[in-house]
Amino acid sequence: MKTDLHGRYVAHVFYALNNRGIESTFSKGRYLNQELVDKGFAKVV
């Protein structure tokens, strides 16, 4: 995992509402980072 200029951890987070394995989560899951940006809870820097 990487850290940003302020020492905070930076990660790409995928999730799925079903538990069908890691490949399914990456291919059909949701990208939490983008959802947070879209809803205004985070911003791209």
Write the CA distances from 41 to 16, 17, 18, 22, 28, integer angstroms.
Answer: 20, 21, 24, 26, 23
**12: containing domain:** 2-38
Average pLDDT, rounded, for the chain: 87
Instruction: State the Cα–Cα distance between residues 32 and 38, nearest whole angstrom.
Output: 10
Check: CB of residue 24 under 8 Å from CB of residue 16. yes
27 located within any domain: yes
31 located within any domain: yes
Please name the residue ranges forming H helices in 1-45: 22-28, 32-38
**What is the mean predicted confidence (pLDDT) over 5-17?**
89
Name which residue leads in pLDDT, 20 or 37. Answer: 37
44 located within any domain: no
Tally of domains within the chain: 1
Output the pLDDT for position 22. Answer: 83
45 located within any domain: no
**What is the mean predicted confidence (pLDDT) over 32-40?**
95
Could you tell me what percentage of the chain is helix, strand and coil, using 3-state DSSP and rounding each to the nearest 5?
A: 30, 20, 50
pTM: 0.65
